Amino acid sequence: MKRTLPGIVLVLAASLHCSALAQVQTLPAPAADAAFAARKSAFLALPPPTRKAAQDALVWLGVYNGVIDSDFGKRTDDAIVAWQRSVKATPDGVLGPTLLQALISAADKARAAVGFQVVTDPKTGVRISAPTKLMGKPGGPRLDFASSGDADLAPLYARLSAETPARKVAYKATKPGSFFVVSGQDGAAKFYSRFETSQGASPPVRGFTFSYPAAQGAQLDRVALAVANSFEAFPAQAQANGQPTAPLAASGAGAPAPPPAKPFATALAIAPGHALTALTAADCPKPSIGGKPVRFERIDAATGLAILAGDFAARGDPPRLGALQTDLVLLTAGGEGIAANSSSPAGAVATPLVLASLEKSARGGPAFDRGGGLAGL
């Protein structure tokens, strides 16, 4: 019987660039116990993009004020525990699959609430994420860009870090020949400014200032940190790939850049609302099938297989099990067969007895024998 297998959309948070506005994580004192080491080990066992996504989510939920660096220090540890307490979970500092998915989902809602999207300034070439739903409104936050043909940051840093009766600097940091950051309050508005320099770029100095009413600081401080963490002064990778970017509107709110293509993986529907996959929650912290969110219902540590549960495959029939045959032929994206586990001469393509695709989106997917039976994943 012919079946159409659903794809699993992996919504992974993009790796954000670090900002000096965020304070560098510090390790606990030498008296740190084995429990901290265990929590660190559990966190570092996650893939780096997942670790960064977790840290960024903790920023959005207002419990983390640190660098998005995928590392694990006291700040990340404290933030995880604080968030666990806020959702009445066991405050053990470990993000298991269920908690990790809940964390990412909560942050996604916070981003959506302010319309956090990537924008590009056509004049400077700066790329950054901005709260587009809040900007352009009277009394709302502003995002201003600036650039300079003078690659020396020192004069600009001296001017922006200088205090006046109305302008107070709360934090400033600089690395000569690289970047500087200044934050504080100017009159009734709080501000974050960051500028970077690159000798080979034109213009060589690019930066931004995100300002917002001080009265809204409790709500917008975390947004400002997220904006700063997303800042790309010289998005060389996008330019090299020729990816189009959307220019900022005159209001400063900005139009979103075309979203990157979402990666896909494969699962096998085994019953209504249930699918089998070889993916893990670390691989896919926020899975969805057919546009609807699903969850990791059960994970078998011995086999590495997991059951996804959700609202899909309402009339799915359980698969008929097959057996792994002598010859295994893997199909590349171009359809070329490659013999594996075969008694055929090396490099020969045997008659397919078990078929499995090598396409990137087929990770975690099923392999069938010639009779249509499930031979494995």
Cβ proximity of 78 and 132 under 8 Å: no
pLDDT of residue 374: 65
Rg, the chain, Cα only: 25
Cα dihedral 288, 364, 70, 14, rounded to 10, equals: -50
Structure tokens at 201: 């770029």
Using alpha carbons only, give the angle 90, 91, 92 rounded to the nearest 5 degrees: 95
DSSP 109-147: HHHHHHTEEEEE-TTT--EEEEETTTTTSTT--EEEEEE
* Strands (E) located in 295-361: 295-300, 305-309, 328-331, 337-340, 354-357
Nearest to 48 by CA among 14, 9, 94, 8: 14
Q: Are 49 and 282 in contact (CB under 8 A)?
A: no
The pTM assigned to this predicted structure is: 0.55
DSSP string, 25-71: P-PPPTT--HHHHHHHHHHHTS-HHHHHHHHHHHHHTTS--B--SS-
Set out the domains of the chain in order of their start, with CATH numbers.
11-114 (no CATH), 118-241 (3.40.1000), 319-377 (no CATH)
- Residue 79: what pLDDT? 95
In order along its 377 residues, the chain shows pLDDT tens digits of 333 333 333 222 222 233 334 444 544 544 457 888 889 999 999 999 999 999 999 999 999 988 888 999 999 999 999 999 999 999 999 999 999 999 999 999 999 999 999 999 999 999 999 999 998 888 889 999 999 999 999 999 999 999 999 999 999 999 999 999 999 999 999 999 999 999 888 899 999 999 999 998 878 999 999 999 999 999 864 455 454 443 333 333 333 343 444 566 777 777 888 888 877 777 777 788 877 888 888 877 677 788 888 887 776 556 565 554 444 444 333 333 434 444 444 444 444 444 454 444 555 566 655 555 666 66
pLDDT of residue 179: 94
Q: What is the pLDDT of residue 216?
A: 87
pLDDT of residue 40: 92
The answer to whether 51 and 70 have CB atoms below 8 angstroms apart is: yes
User: Position 365: which residue type?
Assistant: G
Alpha-carbon span 154 to 174, nearest angstrom: 9
CB proximity list for 263: less than 8 A, separation 6 or greater: 9, 10, 12, 360, 361
Q: How far apart, in Å, do the first and last CA atoms of the chain sit?
A: 19
Closest CA to 60 of 97, 17, 13: 13
